[in-house]
Homo-oligomer: A and B are copies of this chain.
Amino acid sequence: MPPSSPVTGASLLERYLPIRATSEALCRPLAVEDHVPQPVVYASPPKWHLAHTSWFFETFVLARVRPKQSPWHPRYAYLFNSYYETVGERVARQHRGHLSRPTVDEILHYRQHIDECMVACLRENLSHEVMELIELGLQHEQQHQELLLTDIKAILGGNPLQPPYASGQVATWNLVDEHRATGMQDESDWLDMEGGLHAMGHEGAGFAFDNEGGRHLQHLRPFQIQRQLVDNLAYLAFIEDRGYQRPELWHAEGWDWLQAEGIEAPMYWSRDEHAVLGWAHYTLTGPQALLPGTPVTHISHYEAHAFAQWAGCRLPTEFEWEAAQSRLQWGQRWEWTASAYLPYPGFRQAPGAVGEYNGKFMANQMVLRGASFATPPGHARATYRNFFHPPMRWQYTGLRLARD
């Protein structure tokens, strides 16, 4: 949540409808049936995303600006609240894929209704606080656009038929970028970074989440960091060197995890003797041969850590990453760091439901920095702190090496 971002009603109005339309555009290549399933508990059905992002505006903006207006449907709060305890009861997360109703069409009508109300509001004189909530709602919508792409990939890629989502362009996304080779990791391509005090965190105008501020100092020791992300070819060398069979490379919980799940390669990889590297992977354009030079993706933090151990290196901390970021190639994969997701100095959770946005997740998760192929344009930021549990790998995750 933005502590001091100078939002204006005019700029919000200009961005509101295009951002909202993008979510719908992302669902357009889908069959109606594709909007319904939840194949894994951490992903959500596309129609749930479409409704939840609208409920967010209805609950946090419209209920404040139009307190006398009834909600569009008395049960939608129960159906589409994600995790806001302060706002009330809700469907258990693991049951989202059990709900065939409301239908996609009903949800699109709901979206249209919310959009009409929101546009009317945006033409009025809004308080600064409400404008910040709208800004938050738009940032939230964009976060769900990335989740839409990763959750659609989980639904279609987990289906034995492995149907493609689309080919070519969807909204501003060029799907070919997902597996485009952008350059091999180069053993010699290390940046030297000096130690000392570095200022970190968001400051100034422009939106940022509450967890990115405030600006503060971190003392770093000199380190080296690679300009490029680790690519498929480098990762394959780790697999072929029995990386998944050597417990000494893994965190204890990572080793237990891979044994229990039978993991031996990144998510979506499958052996394919006809492919150039002997492996294929499912992409949004359907199964493709794995390419050298493409950043490895769909790995857990455990895998990222084990790879770095194997390479005789380590993951950078989020502070090292931020200090070096202006000299790095980044933006294709969310990069697992060596940092746990913890509050910055001076962080305080905002009162009320909006305070649940970020702060209550500061336990047991790791920070990812950068952005990915699936991040909406304009949503990335050098101070952005993404976070997931160590075993999660359905996001476009990747890694970069550092060393002392």
Known: A346-B221, A404-B346. Contact between A159 and B99, CB under 8 A? yes
Please give, as numbers and ranges, the residues of chain B lying within 8 Å of A361 by CB-CB distance. Answer: 251-252
A305 vs chain B, min Cβ distance (A): 8
- Contact among B97, B309, B364 with A37 in the assembled complex (CB-CB below 8 Å): B97
B37 touches A248 (CB 8 A): no
What is the chain B residue whose CB lies nearest that of A155? B100
A37 touches B221 (CB 8 A): no
B100 touches A252 (CB 8 A): no
Which residues of A in the span 142-200 have a Cβ within 8 Å of any Cβ on B? 155-156, 158-161, 163, 197
A78 touches B (CB below 8 Å): yes
B356 touches A75 (CB 8 A): no
Which residues of A in the span 9-67 have a Cβ within 8 Å of any Cβ on B? 31-39, 47
Please give, as numbers and ranges, the residues of chain B lying within 8 Å of A301 by CB-CB distance. Answer: 363
A338 touches B (CB below 8 Å): yes
CA distance A142 to B255 in the complex (A): 28
Known: A86-B248, A255-B85. Contact between A34 and B100, CB under 8 A? yes
Question: Number of residues in A with C-beta < 8 Å to the partner?
Answer: 70
The segment from A114-122, A127-135, A211-219, A274-282 found at the interface with B is: A211-219
A345 touches B (CB below 8 Å): yes
B342 touches A338 (CB 8 A): yes
A101 touches B159 (CB 8 A): yes
A293 touches B (CB below 8 Å): no
A268 vs chain B, min Cβ distance (A): 15
A68 touches B (CB below 8 Å): no
Please give, as numbers and ranges, the residues of chain B lying within 8 Å of A342 by CB-CB distance. Answer: 338-340
User: Could you jot down 27 A-B contacts, CB within 8 Å?
Assistant: A33-B100, A36-B36, A37-B100, A39-B98, A75-B160, A75-B161, A86-B247, A98-B159, A99-B160, A100-B155, A102-B161, A197-B219, A217-B219, A218-B219, A248-B349, A248-B356, A250-B360, A251-B360, A251-B362, A251-B363, A252-B360, A252-B361, A255-B360, A338-B342, A338-B343, A345-B404, A346-B404
